[in-house]
Structure 1
Amino acid sequence: MTTRAPLAIDALPSRWPTVAGAVVVLTTITSVLLIAFAWPSVRSSVHDVPIAVAGPATAVDRIRTALEQRAPGAFDITEVADTPTAEQLIRDRKVYGAIDVGSGTPQVIIASAAGTAVAQTLQTMATGFRQNSNAAPSVVVRDLAALPAGDARGAGLAAGALPLVMGGLLAAVLLTRLVRGTGRRVAGALAFAVTGGLAITGILQFWFGSLSGSHLANAGAVALSIAAIALTVLGLESLFGYAGIGIGAVIMMLIGNPLSGTATAPEMLPGRSGALGQLLPPGAGGQLLRSTAFFDGRGATSALTVLLTWATLGVVLCLIGSLRAHRAAAWNPGHAPVRALTLNAQ
């Protein structure tokens, strides 16, 4: 007589409610990803973009009125007396461009390196001035901070934002899996930030031709961005385990990267989301790299502060996690030998 062995539980088909639950989870995740990455682009528009208008008060008032009629709320206008003052504001990254009606020939001054989307908007506006019968027939468009000829559209800088974020996340994941000891993980993150910064800027600057300025300064900007991301995720992991890596991925990838404004400009993102993006490492890193590459470091103070704050926060979280591990080992003698291996490696 032959007896049939019972089927293993793992060999049984999953229940249909389990399949339905998996479908719901996948649909939710896909929808969240779509919203995170597509919403900023779909709802992108010009609002409160800082520009300067140079010239006599009466002429400036006419320009302000014309802009408000054509695009209400699009521009945050700073009135200046002359062209040099407007140009200095552009170089200092206080404004994206300027309309100069103080000289003989009206001109629109742009800075494509500060943001190609805003520069294109100002160029379109200049075209509208030309077509306006009440305006002078010739309006000069002058680029005060042009992108390199090798990448005049700024595609390399925009496309490099996502790999930079992924590099910081990947560094945290690999260091968590392969390296024991808080001190060694932090050292590994900083070392990778330096080598990654040199490699990324080398590719963007010397191969793609997307960056100008000092290679070392650009590498420092990228390195600080990578360090801020990697150290923050390492710190979150030290406190919350693998859930901390998930929290870090949501902050940096799903929130920080789409709201960075690197491909357009923070002021073109919907609502106040662009301002939020500048408080996160991806947005601050993109702004810092633009400053070092095209504006001799001007306008970098805010971005530097944000990145240094996140990097410091990451180190502090790592230290807190390490101290908590020490305390847990002291209160759990049965696990002390296992914990000692980790603590001795620090």
Structure 2
Amino acid sequence: MPKHSTVPGTGRKLALVVLGLAALITTMLCAFALPSLHSGPHHVPIGVTGAASTVGDFREAIDEDAWDVRVYETPAAVRSAVEDREVTGGIAVTEQRVDVYTATAGAPSATSAVTALGEKTAAQQTTDVSVHDLVSFTEDDPRGTGLTSALMPMIFGGIFPALILGSFFPGHPGLRTRIAGALLFSVVAGAAVAAVLQFATHSIAGGYGLTTLGVVLGMAAMSTTLLGLQARFGMAGFAFGSALMMLLGNPLSGLATGPHWLPDGWATLGQLLPPGASGSLLRANAFFDGADAGLPALTLAVWVAVGIALAFLADRRGRRSLPSRPESATATATADADA
């Protein structure tokens, strides 16, 4: 009877794979659970204006770990800061009333918290309070459902090209075709996603062209990164990249709440990953005319560069192995002719 032998080192390799997968799943669980358990305001930037004594009392009354208070000279300056995304909200205290300035489209979860602070301040001043939502979601989508639901199509827009193009154009000969296809797909799919959000669901109100550019850049960052990882490290690289985008980048994106509602370290990590940067860029372009869009756009551009660089490294490595194949084929043909 045939004997089945095990390749030496199989047990060690299997143990490493199992432990690696277990560590990955544990990390993903922490990424989902821990930020939610500790969600709330974390150094949320808020603008305040008023008499020096009033501002001083306001500073003493709030949690410094929750709020980053920035003092402005006039209510108009606070209003401009909210509209330009310098702060997530603002409170202007005058002798007549307390004005609360919010931007629901920029930081949905912070809006209610800023409003509560304004109401508390008005109660302490025994005056009226007026709430002004300077940048709100659209009338057709007042809760921003369309905006938050756009992230998953963008993530899958990065996964699908790497997976499907790899099947149709496999190996080293198809590498450049896969990269070109991923970039072309990002343009077409990005324009389609922006069109649905703008004209079908009416979830965003910004300029279509600017919004489209942001969505295209987000999809290109995810698709090129996954293609580069796949080309350089095989299916293991693709699996790692997909898990990074979906299981880590998605819950840490802060798209539904605003990044300041996550713990500081998690929020920073989320904004450095393509899903978080894509969500921030989409929000900035769709509701704030591109204000504060520079950092997420730069982050995504770096991911595109990393993905393409990995692909070129794989391409260079693959080309080095090509010359040996014709020589081998020639030698085989000569041997056949001599025989």
* Shorter-normalised TM range: 0.7 to 0.9
The alignment covers a number of residue pairs equal to 316
Q: Does 1:53 align with 2:48?
A: yes
Among 285, 297, 312, the residue aligned to 1:292: 285
Q: Give the counterpart of 1:209 among 193, 202, 209.
A: 202
Query: What is residue 222 of structure 2 aligned with on the other side?
Result: 229
Q: Which runs of 5+ in 1 are unaligned?
A: 1-5, 10-22, 338-346
Query: Is the alpha carbon distance of 1:335 and 1:184 closer, same or farther for their aligned partners in structure 2, counting shifts above 3 Å?
Result: farther
TM-score (norm 2): 0.85
**1:38 Cα shift?**
3.3
CA distance in 2, matches of 1:242, 1:271: 33
Provide the rounded CA distance (Å) in 1 between the counterparts of 2:46 and 2:277. 21
| 1:247-301 CA-partner distances (Å, limit 9, x unpaired) | 2112211221111111112111124110111111111111111111111111111
Post-superposition Cα deviations, 1:13-60, rounded to whole Å, max 9, x if no partner, equal: xxxxxxxxxx99998876655433333223211110011101232221
Q: What is the root-mean-square deviation in Å for CA atoms of aligned residues? A: 2.6
* 150, 153, 157: which one aligns with 2:147: 157
2:30 matched to 1:35?
yes
Q: Is the 8 A contact 2:84 2:292 kept in 1?
A: yes
Distance (whole Å) between structure 2 residues aligned to residue 207 and residue 275 of structure 1: 33
Q: Which amino acid is the alignment partner of residue 309 of structure 1?
A: V
Bigger drift between 45-54 and 175-184 goes to 175-184
**Contact map agreement 1:329 1:335 (CA 8 A) in 2:** no
In structure 2, the residue matched to 1:340 is none
Assess, with a 3 A threshold, how the Cα gap between structure 1 residues 35 and 163 changes in structure 2: closer, same or farther. Answer: farther
More moved, 108-117 vs 243-252: 243-252
User: What is the correspondence of 1:170-209 to structure 2 with a 5 Å cutoff?
Assistant: 170-180=160-170, 181-209=174-202
Asked if the contact 1:43/1:270 (under 8 Å) is kept, the reply is yes
Aligned to 2:132: 142
Matched, 1:119 2:108: no
Q: Distance in 1 between matches of 2:34 and 2:329?
A: 49
CA separation of 1:335/1:325 partners in 2, compared to 1, >3 Å: closer, same or farther? farther
Q: How far, CA to CA, are the matches of 1:64 and 1:306 in structure 2? A: 34
**5+ residue gaps in structure 2?**
5-17, 331-339
The letter for the 2-side match of 1:176 is: G
- 2:75 is aligned with 1:80: no
- In the TM superposition, residue 197 of structure 1 has moved relative to its aligned partner by 0.8
SS at match of 2:131: strand
2:91 and 2:100 in contact (8 A); partners too? yes
> How much identity, in percent, do the aligned residues show?
36
In 1, the alpha carbon distance for the partners of 2:268 and 2:316 equals: 35
- Post-superposition shift, 1:307? 0.6
Following the alignment from structure 2 to structure 1, what is the Cα–Cα distance between the partners of residues 150 and 327? 48
Letter in 2 for 1:108: V
Q: For the structure 1 residues 326 and 123, does the alpha-carbon distance in structure 2 shift closer, same or farther, using more than 3 Å as the test?
A: same
TM-score, structure 1 length as denominator?
0.84
1:150 alignment partner, SS class = coil
Aligned AA (2:105) = A
User: In structure 1, what is the equivalent of residue 302 of structure 2?
Assistant: 309
CA positional deviation for 1:159: 1.9
Q: CA deviation at 1:118?
A: 0.8
The SS at the match of 1:147 is coil
